[in-house]
Amino acid sequence: MMIFRQIISKSGGCATYIFGCTQAGELFVVDPRYEMVDEIVRLAQDLGNMKIAYIIDTHTHADHLSGVKKLQALTNANIYYHEESQVKFKVERIKDGEEIKAGNVKIKVIHTPGHTPDSISVLVYDKRRDDSWNEPWAVLTGDTLFVGGVGRIDIGGENAEENLYYSLAKLKGLPDYVEIYPTHTAGSVCGVGISGKPSSTIGFEKRFNTLFRINEKDEFINRVREVKISKPKEFDEYIRKNLEGVI
């Protein structure tokens, strides 16, 4: 059986995902917030002492402290970042299209830069629902695509607007029924117009998400550039600490 849990922080709208296969006894943890690590460990224990085996950050977070190093110290799990990441501690560097399997659960990495250069989205597959492993049922979109919004681009580096356009095009190419689970809900400063709803589908966002439904590149870039949001002063400090790794 597949386990899938979403934990949303009490402040900042941060979402962490814990999922895996009971047969394999292994769990993936995606985007653990530092303050939520103890809760994540307790959940793994409550699920029958399942092993936290894979820890993934979808990007270098700017609005909160990542809990990847703290969680690794408690579980001895591997940490995964995209190969573009500038983290200064030891991690497994994953590439676009790379897959990891744990029993009946598989993930596939999609490089989706724009919000940050190292941003990824994570496709989730359940073999019990599709023996062929060809049909994802969900995608964890990090801060690339939100319910009702898209990621801010002022920390995205060179050509952030164009990169975000092509990243969203990759997600737009997924089947409409694929569920999306972003790393933030309403209350986050990582995007504009983010809904309080914690999940959606590709099809719903293509119809109702103002920026996601734009197909023409120049129009998208112009609209994204029109969005003016101030950069919180704590962003640079969080980025520095997350690149160094906090335990």
Q: Which amino acid is at 172?
A: K
User: Please, which pLDDT band fits residue 20 given cuts at 50, 70 and 90?
Assistant: very high
Eight-state DSSP code of residue 14: B
Q: Which amino acid is at 176?
A: D
pLDDT exceeds 90 at position 191: no
User: Please, which pLDDT band fits residue 190 given cuts at 50, 70 and 90?
Assistant: confident
Per the CB < 8 A criterion, the answer to whether 23 and 102 are in contact is no
Structure pTM? 0.97
Q: For strand 99-102 and strand 138-142, is the pairing parallel, antiparallel, or unpaired?
A: unpaired
Mean pLDDT of 26-38: 97
For 85-113, write each residue's pLDDT tens digit: 999 999 999 999 999 999 999 999 999 99
Amino acid 110: pLDDT: 98
The boundaries of the domain holding residue 190 are 1-226
Q: Does the residue 235 lie in any domain?
A: no
Amino acid 62: pLDDT: 95
pLDDT exceeds 90 at position 189: no
Amino acid 10: pLDDT: 85
Q: Does the residue 91 lie in any domain?
A: yes
Mean pLDDT of 121-146: 96
CA distance 164 to 225: 12
Q: Does the residue 214 lie in any domain?
A: yes
CA distance 181 to 194: 12
Q: Does the residue 20 lie in any domain?
A: yes
- The count of domains in the chain is 1
Per-chain mean pLDDT for the chain: 95
Q: Which of 31-40, 48-57, 124-133, 224-233 is least confident?
A: 224-233
User: Token digits for 228?
Assistant: 């003016």
Q: Does the residue 241 lie in any domain?
A: no
Mean pLDDT of 112-124: 98
Q: Does the residue 11 lie in any domain?
A: yes
Q: Does the residue 231 lie in any domain?
A: no
Instruction: Give the DSSP letter string of 206-246.
Output: HHH-TTTT---HHHHHHHHHH---PPPTTHHHHHHHHHH--
Task: Give percent above pLDDT 90 in the chain.
Answer: 88
Q: Does the residue 242 lie in any domain?
A: no
**Domain of residue 156, CATH code:** 3.60.15.10
Secondary structure string (H, E, C) spanning 150-198: EECCCCCCCCHHHHHHHHHHHHHCCCCCCEEEECECCCCCCECCCCCCC
Mean pLDDT of 3-24: 94
**Torsion over CA of 28, 50, 241 and 151, rounded to 10 degrees?**
30
Eight-state DSSP code of residue 107: E
